[in-house]
Amino acid sequence: MSPKRKVLFIANPISGPGAKLKLPALITRHLDNQRFDWTIYKTKQRGDATERAQKAVQENFDLVVAVGGDGTINEVAQGLIFTTMPMGIIPNGSGNGLAKHLGISDHIPTAISQLNDSQTTPIDTGWFNDQLFLNVAGIGFDAQVAHAFDNHDRRGLLSYIWLSIREYLQFTPQATELIVDQLKVKTTPFIITIANGSQYGNNAFIAPHASLEDGLLNLTIVAPLNIARCLTFPYKLFTKSLSNSKHTQLMTAKKIVIHTSAAKAQIDGETIAAQATNTVEIKPKSLLIFAPKI
Ligand X SMILES: Nc1ncnc2c1ncn2[C@@H]1O[C@H](COP(=O)(O)OP(=O)(O)OP(=O)(O)O)[C@@H](O)[C@H]1O
Can you give the binding site for ligand X, defined by CB under 6 A? 12-16, 43-46, 48, 68-72, 75, 93-95, 155, 269-270
Min separation Cβ 259 and ligand X, Å: 28
Closest CA relative to residue 5, chosen from 39, 29, 30, 28: 39
Our CB check for ligand X shows the closer of 22 and 46 to be 46
Min separation Cβ 1 and ligand X, Å: 35
Q: Is 222 exposed, middle or buried (0-12, 13-18, 19+ CB in 10 A)?
A: buried
Our CB check for ligand X shows the closer of 152 and 209 to be 152
Min separation Cβ 60 and ligand X, Å: 25
Our CB check for ligand X shows the closer of 51 and 281 to be 51
Give me the residue whose beta carbon is nearest to ligand X: 69
Our CB check for ligand X shows the closer of 102 and 258 to be 102
Our CB check for ligand X shows the closer of 165 and 175 to be 165
Min separation Cβ 171 and ligand X, Å: 20
Min separation Cβ 55 and ligand X, Å: 16
Min separation Cβ 214 and ligand X, Å: 25
Our CB check for ligand X shows the closer of 57 and 157 to be 157
